Amino acid sequence: MKMERLKTPCYVIDEDRLERNLKQLRSIMDATGCKILLAQKAFSAYALYPKIGLYLNGTTASGLYEAKLGREEMGTALENHVFAAAYREEDFEEIAAICDHIVFNSFCQLEKFRDQALKHGAGIGLRINPECSTQDGHAIYDPCAPGSRLGITCEHFRGKSLDGVEGLHFHTLCEQNADALETTLGAVEEKFGEYLERSQIKWLNFGGGHHITRTGYDIERLKRCICRMQDKYQVQVYLEPGEAVALDAGYLLTQVLDVVENGGQQTAILDTSAACHMPDVIEMPYRPPLQNSGRPGEKKYSYRLAGPTCLAGDIIGEYSFDYQLEPGSRLCFEDMAIYSMVKNNTFNGMPLPAIVLKRGADCQSWKTFGYEDFKRHL
């Protein structure tokens, strides 16, 4: 099928754009010797894991289910890493059996599960908190915010045994450039340099949040950061991008159901929902890019775009067009491969959008959802 024939709403994953991102990431790996993993929390369309596995070193997970998905769909030839703020006892045996690296969030968790992890030959790491915030505004996404539950601060390393620990992990960035990484590395060295210098530490994981495939990202600075840490401490550097893997590699197709007016405000009600199908629009918040549109007032006809749910705040954003919207008008939101399929929901009984794979101009349906999918998880 062609995109214009697809039933809405649906997510469309553009394999050509995905591959473009993968090639860019691969070039960094080749130039520096670092290893890059897919952070499944941002993108888990496992039909494309075999392709991703041709370029990257494997996957990283946030718990048992993602770890199982990475192992099953990326295969045993590639690496499978996991970090969780805390592990459940009933899950850990299976996690240890299928994961190559297991990162702990506290010394309590390390001591509880260390022997189990070592029994299965897993590499053990600790997540550190360098207490260096480089983000502006979004405290909900800042692991270095005051009182954060994520990562061990340097004061809690004092007097603790690092038996069995072979790596350190930090994740402090969110959609940021390499200058933020460079600043963070300064804090990491200042507070944890003495531990990096220990011969037992074999790897350092820079985590995610690196917007590597975004236009204007400072790739040369990233390479310098990687090489400097690898050379200085003789460690293997890992990166765990999620967004950068599938950035600008997906769409959400929708159509207008109705246009209503209140106090001069024209609102187009779509068959897709911010709350259900693109929840980061409300959580971040942000205004998703939309093909052939402009800012309010930039083009002749301005509308507020909204979902059909009962949530008054189910608002996608304000846009303008060269033409009037009417029932049946089709719209295409961009950059919808990331944090959409992994976070969507069926609030109000909203149907989940189908998932379509696009190669060139041709589209192939991969997943469709119906009433039974809604009912099954209630």
User: Where is the domain boundary, 246, 270, 292?
Assistant: 246
CATH of the domain at 164: 3.20.20.10
Sheet-wide strand order for 101-104: 35-36, 236-239, 203-205, 165-169, 123-127, 101-104, 79-83, 58-61, 38-39
Contact 101, 120 (CB under 8 A): no
Q: What is the pLDDT along the chain (378 residues), one digit of tens a residue?
A: 899 999 999 999 999 999 999 999 999 999 999 999 999 999 999 999 999 999 999 999 999 999 999 999 999 999 999 999 999 999 999 999 999 999 999 999 999 999 999 999 999 999 999 999 998 767 788 999 999 999 999 999 999 999 999 999 999 999 999 999 999 999 999 999 999 999 999 999 999 999 999 999 999 999 999 999 999 999 999 999 999 999 999 999 999 999 999 999 999 999 999 999 999 999 988 999 999 999 999 999 999 999 999 999 999 999 999 999 999 999 999 999 999 999 999 999 999 999 999 999 999 999 999 999 999 999
Among 282, 283, 294, 340, residue whose Cα is nearest residue 318:
294
CATH code of 348's domain: 2.40.37.10
Tally of structural domains, the chain: 2
Q: Which residue range forms the structural domain that includes residue 370?
A: 3-11+250-336+344-376
Q: Are residues 145 and 164 in the same domain?
A: yes
- 232/292 same-domain check: no
242 and 256 assigned to the same domain: no
**pTM value?**
0.96
| Cβ neighbourhood burial of 282 (10 Å; 0-12, 13-18, 19+) | middle
